[in-house]
Amino acid sequence: MKIKVQLSMVLNLDKCIGCHTCSIPCKNVWTNRQGAEYMWFNNVETKPGIGYPKEWENQAIHKGGWTRDKGELRLKAGGRIHKASRIFHNPDLPIIDDYYEPWDYDYESLISAPGKKHQPAIHPRSQLTGEPMDITWGPNWEDDLAGVCETGVRDSNFSGLDHAIYLSFKQVFMFYLPRLCEHCLNPACVASCPSGAMYKRDEDGIVLVDQERCRGWRYCVSGCPYKKVYFNWKTGRSEKCIFCYPRLEAGLTTLCAHSCVGRIRYVGVVLYDADRIQEAAGATTDREIYPSHLDLLCDPSDPETIAAARSQGIPEQVLAAARRSPVYLLAKTWRLALPLHPEFRTLPMVWYIPPLSPMEALAENQDIMAAVDNLRIPVRYLANLLTAGDEAPVRLALRRLAAVRAYMRSVRVENKAGEAIAASVGLDSASILKMYDLLAIARLEDRFVLPTASHPDKSPLHGIQGCGGFPERR
């Protein structure tokens, strides 16, 4: 058993309000400069929709991630020889129009315009060429389903569903999907890089690009199935989400998580068995990947895991943070948080709690099992997004979320016992109350549980308190 540490995030889609607040501090701090105008390390998409860049989920087009071929795990885009033959033209790369052509406005002429009868107007101009342009697409063009009657048919999560029904006015559904780099355990971007510039940090699993070594081949861009590596046209190098590691090293959480208005984000440490990554990523069928992925995550309170971690030099403060990890609780213990498109076989480490949608049945106090089947968002759609089409884990997560509401209403409003509700979803009252605490009212120090410094002996930050010790918003 080779225990490794991974910093990980859970996003509760049930609470995301699509405000984009998370994207703004990320943009302002990390990609607010020339060459990075079109980059959004964190973006928020509306589902259904084809997202940013267009149709990023459709690997028949983009050929990102891994595939299982003759029992072997292989990059979907082909091996080194295949890549070398196309090194000066990679047809799998998205073009700028798939993201969007970034633009701004000539504010100066607006401010300095002389007094006239009519208000002055300014037109968009390209940030790439400086020329006037027509805006035809943007990083969230489909916000709140805008235009989805046209683009929605290309959303690959409708597989097995009649999209025409779900995109009609009466049946339509929507939810928000905030996205960042998944800091995968089996990152296709790292495996695709011919220069060895992409790497996974040993101490916490954050995936980074070494700017000195990057030669701008861009195979990481096409190799990432989530399209979360971007090419900077000014520097000629690739860039990506760095999970705000300078903040994490100081005991602060990521900017997207800290700024989240809906308080939907949880950040914590998980321990995993690195010896079994290939086995998990190479599971025989797509639906077997999620359970094998979960199996990789080790119980941080298990004496055998702790002994193995100590023998490999994992610091005590990291083990302590792993034992309090909200990510482990939500993903492994309660099975509420699920991976995004596990069928890409990169073993993503940003997890999503699926959204409940308006459920009249639950409000009318019908049984939870039936209520989940009457959701406005089809379970099949969520399963295509989160569990390679397997509906059972999605149903379990939704039933448990619904059970928390039913339990609290039963106890607090109707003054009745809630044990039967908890038992119906395989839990007890203590677990339901703990779940309610974490999902509904958790304070900052429960949502973000970070070790103080990964290498206290090497870091000048040693001794700084965790984020709970800072005067942050609660």
Q: What are phi and psi of 437, to 5 degrees?
A: -55, -50
Give the burial string for 49-73 (b: 16+ CB within 10 Å, else e). bbbbbbbbbbbeebbbbbebeeeeb
- Smallest separation (angstroms) from ligand SF4 to the CB of 205: 9
Tokens of 460: 């000048």
* Interaction of residue 17 with ligand SF4, rule CB under 6 A: yes
Q: Calculate the CA 234 to chain-centre distance.
A: 27
48 binds ligand SF4 (CB under 6 A): no
Question: Which tokens in the block code for residue 290?
Answer: 């999620």
Euclidean distance between CA atoms 289 and 338, whole angstroms: 12
Residue count at the site for ligand SF4 (CB under 6 A)? 28
Exactly one of 4, 6, 9, 20 binds ligand SF4 (CB under 6 A); that residue is: 20
Distance from C-alpha of 273 to C-alpha of 296, rounded to nearest angstrom: 5
Single out the segment in contact with ligand SF4 by CB under 6 A; choices: 1-9, 101-109, 135-143, 224-232: 224-232
DSSP 33: S
Span between the terminal Cα atoms of the chain, in Å: 39
User: For 271, which DSSP code?
Assistant: E
Is 54 among the residues that bind ligand SF4 (CB under 6 A)?
no
| Binding flag, residue 93, ligand SF4 (CB under 6 A) | no
Q: Cα–Cα distance between 327 and 313 in angstroms, integer?
A: 22
Cα gap 274→253, rounded to integer Å: 25
Residue 226 binds ligand SF4, judged by CB under 6 A: yes
Residue 323 and residue 313 in contact, taking contact as beta carbons nearer than 8 Å:
no
Site for ligand SF4 contains 447 (CB under 6 A)? no
Per-residue contact string for residues 141-180; x = within reach of ligand SF4 by CB under 6 A = -----------------------------------x-x--
Q: Which is nearer to ligand SF4, 48 or 223 (CB)?
A: 223
359's tokens: 């459920």
Interacting stretch for ligand SF4, rule CB under 6 A, among 96-104, 226-234, 278-286, 302-310?
226-234
Of 207, 244, 298, 372, the residue at the interface with ligand SF4 (CB under 6 A) is 207
Check binding of 140 to ligand SF4 (CB under 6 A): no
Residue from 184, 270, 401, 432 binding ligand SF4 (CB under 6 A): 184
Whole-number Å distance between alpha carbons of 254 and 9: 10
CA 142 to chain centre: 19
397 near ligand SF4, rule: CB under 6 A:
no
**From 156-164, 220-228, 413-421, 424-432, span contacting ligand SF4 (CB under 6 A):** 220-228
Binding site for ligand SF4 (CB under 6 A): 16-22, 44, 176, 178, 181-184, 187-189, 207, 224, 226, 228-229, 240, 260-262, 264, 346
